[in-house]
Structure 1
Amino acid sequence: MKPSSLALRLKTAIVRADDGLLMRSAFFGLLAAAGAFLFTDLREMSLAQAPLPGHDPMTTDAPVLPPALTDGTPQAPPVDPDSSPEILRQPMRFELLTGGVLKAEGSIDLGAAERFAEEIAARGEYVQAVSLNSPGGSVNDALAMSKLIREKGINTKVASKALCASSCPLVFAGGVAREAEQDAILGVHQVFNAGQDRPSPEQAMSGAQSTTARIARHLEEMGIGNGLWINALETPPDRLYYLTPEEMAEFKLVTAPVATAKQAD
């Protein structure tokens, strides 16, 4: 049976289930199955080419904005982002805007969470919202940033034609109020902890399962629906599952409806 077929069947079971315990059991069953699928992929990757010490995947020539996940020919993202790939590839930097908005732009590099914490500490209570424009990066840093945002009672937003992909939605999920403007680009896909040394296949599988469980638990604590990360688990790392405004609301990723062209008129 193909991985995507099994994931689809489990996803259907979760949607149809009315009992909360059954939903939770089925969801974590999917996480376990996803770990097995990742084991095969990571085994091939680790045997083919291991990351060099200190390697940052966001500095490679991989596309900043991967094509959408489709059954056939890959499709472009719903809209083109305003920022260039060069800007998005740079290590995350912070800029204080008017109205208590702290703009966080660039890849979530190792150490981004520490710099973010320093910014929040320096600005005191002036920061009311964090505006994200990032292709993702370090999962550990993204989770740390998200937890600090919720702890400080800060809101999050993704502006029109700004990008929040890969691990960036984990940061976005930390906001008390979460806003995605019309034409904001939010997308998810499989993530794993690459590490600095060549992992054995068993270590790679263990790391993938541990990372997946940490993400699932964090999203649950933030009040985000399980369906968000199910779509991530079904999407290869070289693709993105672009979220529609309806899905953002369904998964409780946003706390207010995303404006559509019809609503904006």
Structure 2
Amino acid sequence: MRIDDTFKALMRLDDGVLMRGAFYALLSAATVFLLVDVRDLTAMNAELPAFDPFHENRPLLPPALTEGGPTTPRVQPASPEEVLRRPMTFELASGGVLLAEGTIDPGASARFAEEIAARGEYVKTVALNSPGGSVDDALAISSLIRERKLGTKVASRALCASSCPIIFAGGVSRVAEKDAIVGVHQVFNGGSGRQTADQAMSAAQSTTARVTRHLDTMGVGAGLWINALETPPDRLHYLTSAEMAKFKLTTEPPATARKKAESE
């Protein structure tokens, strides 16, 4: 086939096909880089493993990875560090708001399901304040939030980092208030005990696929997860309001959400 014939054939392709092709190419490249990182970290027995909110010797908020060098978020969380490090708790507040606060520990999704079964008829919105944690539990909580058609929000100076945005994505309406701290990075379940490089790579691939599929189902743009894949696990990509809107992680601007809340 001549070059001009090839060009004409490409021009006839649907824009959606081209966009999906570009997305999957970017995702594949990002996944390769992630797997190489996992293999190298495992083989070298790196001193700084993936972020663990329960580990008191590691920073609760990893520095951002920026062109100018690692930086901290523009604002600090309002909650004390000890509150954010403890296993996630659930507390029903006024206005149908269920506060989910603390680290997403293994078993958090079961406790959330029990809370919803007991008092779910009162819950309209799940407010998040968490540094992240178990990806499996985050996926389960997010799925139940969508199943019950609940909203999610991150209040001003509340934290939603690491795997927490997976929960945030489950809301049918999603609001991050002004000065909310939302960040993403590479997340994967490493399993129990020490793993070989092949086992770690397999776990990374499986979790990447599950999270990607879940975010797509929730209507969140691919750019969010690409940013996560590009950010090492000991760093965070702190999202701006513009980025959250662009990636469809939020469904309405903070100002609109505030006016709506005041009118209710």
Amino acid at match of 1:180: A
- Secondary structure of 2:76's match? coil
Deviation per CA, 1:213-246, whole angstroms, max 9, x where unpaired?
A: 1111111110111111111111111111111111
Q: Is 2:141 the partner of 1:131?
A: no
Distance 2:61 2:14 in 1: 37
1:59 aligns with 2:34: no
Task: Give the match for residue 14 of structure 1.
Answer: none
- Give, in whole Å, the separation in 2 of the partners of 1:50 and 1:239: 15
Task: Give the conservation status (yes or no) of the 8 Å contact 1:232–1:241.
Answer: yes
Q: Is the 8 A contact 2:186 2:231 kept in 1?
A: yes
Preserved CA contact (<8 Å) 1:31 1:209 = no
Q: 1:39·1:201 contact (CA, 8 Å) conserved in 2?
A: no
- For 2:196 and 2:252, the matched residues in 1 are separated by 44
Pairwise mapping of residues 16-55 of structure 1 onto structure 2 (< 5 A)? 19-49=15-45
Aligned residue number for residue 242 of structure 1: 238
For 2:183, give the aligned amino acid.
G
Tell me if 1:143 matches 2:175.
Answer: no
SS in 1 for 2:98: strand
CA positional deviation for 1:18 = 8.0
Equivalent in the alignment of 2:5: none
Offset at residue 258 of structure 1 (A) = 2.4
Partners of 1:127 and 1:232 in 2: how far apart?
Answer: 30
Match of 1:249, as an amino acid?
A
User: CA-atom RMSD, angstroms?
Assistant: 2.2
> Residue 8 of structure 1 aligns with which residue?
none
Distance 1:57 1:244 in 2: 24
The aligned amino acid for 1:19 is D
CA drift of 1:40 comes to 2.5
Aligned-partner Cα distance in 2 for 1:224–1:117: 23
The separation in 2 between residues aligned to 1:114 and 1:222, in whole angstroms, is 21
Distance 1:78 1:226 in 2: 25
2:53 is matched by which residue type in structure 1?
A: M
Determine if the alignment matches structure 1 residue 182 to structure 2 residue 189. Answer: no
The 8 Å contact of residues 35 and 205 in structure 1, kept in 2 or not, is answered as no
Q: 2:149 aligns to what?
A: 153
1:117 maps to which residue?
113
Whole-Å separation in 2 of the counterparts to 1:257 and 1:232: 22
Q: Could you say what secondary structure the match of 1:57 adopts?
A: coil
TM-score of the two chains, using structure 2 as the length reference: 0.86
Q: Is the contact made by 1:190 and 1:232 (CA closer than 8 Å) also made in structure 2?
A: yes
What SS is found at the alignment partner of 1:259? helix
- Give the secondary structure class of the aligned counterpart of 1:186: strand
The residue type paired with residue 58 of structure 1 is P
- Corresponding residue number in structure 1 for 2:4: none
1:162 aligns with 2:158: yes
Count of aligned residue pairs for this structure pair: 242
TM-score by length of 1: 0.85
Once structures 1 and 2 are overlaid, which stretch shifts more, 39-48 or 163-172? Answer: 39-48
Identity among equivalent positions (%) equals 65
- Contact 2:125–2:151 (8 Å) recurs in 1: yes
1:203 aligns with 2:199: yes
Point out the more displaced range, 166-175 or 77-86. Answer: 77-86
Q: Which amino acid aligns with 1:116?
A: F
Of 99, 103, 115, the residue aligned with 2:99 is: 103
Distance 2:248 2:140 in 1: 20
Contact 2:145 2:170 in 1 (8 A): yes
| Secondary structure of residue in 2 paired with 1:124 | helix
Q: Is the contact made by 1:162 and 1:184 (CA closer than 8 Å) also made in structure 2? A: yes
